[in-house]
A and B are shown apart, each in its own frame.
Chain A
Amino acid sequence: MRRRSALPGLGLALGVTWLWLGLIVLVPLAALVLRPWELGLAGVWASVTEPRVVAALGLSFGAALGAALVDLPLGLLIAWVVVRYRFPGRRVLDAAIDLPFALPTAVAGLALTALYAPNGWLGAPLAAMGVTVAFTPLGVAVALAFVGLPFVVRMVEPVLRDLGPEAEEAAAVLGATRWQAWRRVVLPALGPALVSGVALAFARAVGEYGSVIFIAGNRPMESEIAPLLIVARLEQYDYAGAAALGLAMLLLSFAFLLVFGVMQRRLRRGVM
């Protein structure tokens, strides 16, 4: 017998949820999973272990992880400043954080390229110091850090606001130094939100295309990202090969997100 609930509508709501999730997420993913096998198991394996593909996957995931890890302290700092301090222009800064979300990624990519190119505003002084950003893996990481940053800020911000200054004040009165208060009170409280933000920034970065391809230079084996290879295969009508690479990215992403999920659960255990 069905139990009555004060919040009716579970059946309907769950049904609609599954329908939309199916149409928008699961069916396309299923197609992706089914498509490559016309190559046969060995063909799929060969297609994703080509040296050029392995290098591209390594760059995509490595740069995405690096970018997400750069976004971690940067996003935390920005969230901190926006939540804890009152200063002129705070609202403008707050709004500007989301701009990477709103900007067409190609525009962002062109802007970053112009900025970091060897003759750009930032590229020229960096080149003088012997650092080349544009058209290298470093450039890829810079673009990915740019698109991922808002995720970390927006995940951390509400938790930090909820934590309030009292916890830190309590730590200080009990004899804690600034560092101890951070290490033992603030960071553990923010831990799960930080991991969520990093996971989202990472996920976004792995799939990023538009903002990267301009600054990356797309040199095979060096600065070519996996999504670009997929597009390249599609242009050669190698649909199965593109799907195989897509599937490989899907599985790798899933594995990474699973690890982030476990980390988050570990950190949260203390909080709940």
Chain B
Amino acid sequence: MIEVRGLHLRYGGVAALDGVDLALRAGEFVALLGASGSGKTTLLRSLAGLEFPDAGQVLIEGRDMAAVPARERGVGFVFQNYALFRHMTVFENIAFGLRIRPRGQRPGRTEIARRVEELLALVRLPGMGERHPDQLSGGQRQRVALARALAIEPRVLLLDEPFGALDAKVRKELRHWLRGLHDRLGLTSLFVTHDQDEALELADRVAVMRDGRVVQFDTPEALLAAPADAGVAGFLGDAVPVDCVVREGRAWFEGLPPVEVAGVKGGKAVAFLRPVDLLAEAGAGEARVAAARQDGRGVRLTVEVAGMLLEATPTPGWAPRRGEACRVTVLAARVFPA
């Protein structure tokens, strides 16, 4: 559906894209995840025809896009700051892509009005057509931008940090709604984010980018279970790096019991430990409860082990109190040679 081969792009001597390969299947919802400056927005813009790679190929539905200008690619693009046309009403914004078509392909007046109303209903903004963008909230503007992008009936939807400018609650609502919309309309979507929760929760597959390259492209489960390298492991799942030594198929820690690790060569190593990897239970041990806080998801527990502060999961039924001694078991770890 979308395929990128060996994409290179340099900005004044700095490689923004340094050999990107990526292939999306039809109907997939894919996240481009990475820190700022990792090249994810540049890649997205290259797909839309807003950046021009120095080398490599972009194929959309099997067609080489090198000579195809942005206006003929027929992709939907939602900008990070929405880029709505401020002097136009919401209705005119959404109708824009239809009204500018050449005479032969342009729908009639009533047909355009019908389509716009339909899109307004789809993005849950019925009756808002006469407003101007600056009379809308951030979440509403985002949905107008989406409706405007969908008006030209794209098969491919590209979104640049679609939830970046929204507050936490609106962001969560919109996430699920967007995913639902994608499934309903049968789109192939690619969205850029620096928020790993968003990527892991929403996407079928996540492409992790670093230094202009895709370092790993996999399902969220696979990414969490088997990160390609220490960088990915540290980026995902709130993992904390802890020094260890690998010997006889086990990783040995200071202050923590050893854990089985397979396929790691012996010697000094770094283990990435997530809160779900550490099980804490009441009883005499080397660890101590540093903080325990109740929130909507359960108890958030921080334990102190050998001078380190680690987040851990308490055993069910135990209500940890600050300063209490406890025992910590390592259930799993992703270990990379140091």
Contact = CB atoms under 8 A, between A and B. Distances in A.
B88 interface: yes
B71 to A, nearest CB: 5
Contacts of A175: 71-72, 74, 97, 100-101, 152
A189 interface: yes
Interface of B: 48-50, 69-77, 79, 81, 83-88, 96-97, 100-101, 132, 148-149, 151-152
A114 interface: no
B322 to A, nearest CB: 44
Contact of B87 (A164, A173, A174, A188): A188
A228 to B, nearest CB: 42
Contacts of A167: 83, 85-86
**Which 9 A-B residue pairings sit nearest by Cβ, starting from the closest?**
A166-B83, A174-B97, A170-B83, A173-B77, A172-B70, A270-B87, A271-B87, A188-B87, A175-B71
A169 interface: yes
Contacts, number: 70
A173 B100 contact: no
Interface string A156-177: 0000000010110111111111
B148 A174 contact: yes
Contact of B75 (A170, A173, A188): A173
A184 interface: yes
A272 B132 CA distance: 8
A180 interface: yes
Given A167-B83, A189-B85, A271-B87, 6 more contacts: A173-B77, A175-B74, A175-B101, A188-B87, A271-B86, A272-B132
Given A169-B50, A270-B88, A174 B83 contact: no
Given A166-B79, A180-B100, A272-B132, A173 B85 contact: no
A16 to B, nearest CB: 33
B86 A189 contact: yes
With most chain B CB atoms within 10 A of its CB, the pick from A175, A185, A188, A189 is A175
22 contacts: A164-B83, A166-B81, A167-B83, A170-B84, A170-B85, A171-B85, A171-B96, A172-B49, A173-B48, A173-B49, A173-B71, A173-B75, A173-B149, A174-B71, A174-B151, A175-B74, A177-B71, A177-B100, A184-B100, A185-B85, A188-B87, A270-B87
Contacts of A185: 85
Contacts of B73: 173
Interface in A10-50: none
With most chain A CB atoms within 10 A of its CB, the pick from B70, B85, B152 is B85
A189 B97 contact: no
Contact of A176 (B71, B75, B77, B79): B71
A174 B100 contact: yes
A172 B49 CA distance: 9
Contacts of A270: 87-88
Contacts of A172: 49-50, 69-71
A175 B95 CA distance: 12
With most chain A CB atoms within 10 A of its CB, the pick from B79, B84, B100, B152 is B100
Nearest to B74: A175
A76 B245 CA distance: 67
A173 B88 CA distance: 17
Contacts of A176: 71, 96, 100
A6 B84 CA distance: 34
Nearest to A167: B83
A263 to B, nearest CB: 15
A180 B132 CA distance: 21
A170 B77 contact: yes
Contacts of A174: 71, 96-97, 100, 148-149, 151-152
Contacts of B49: 172-173
A189 B48 contact: no
Nearest to B135: A272
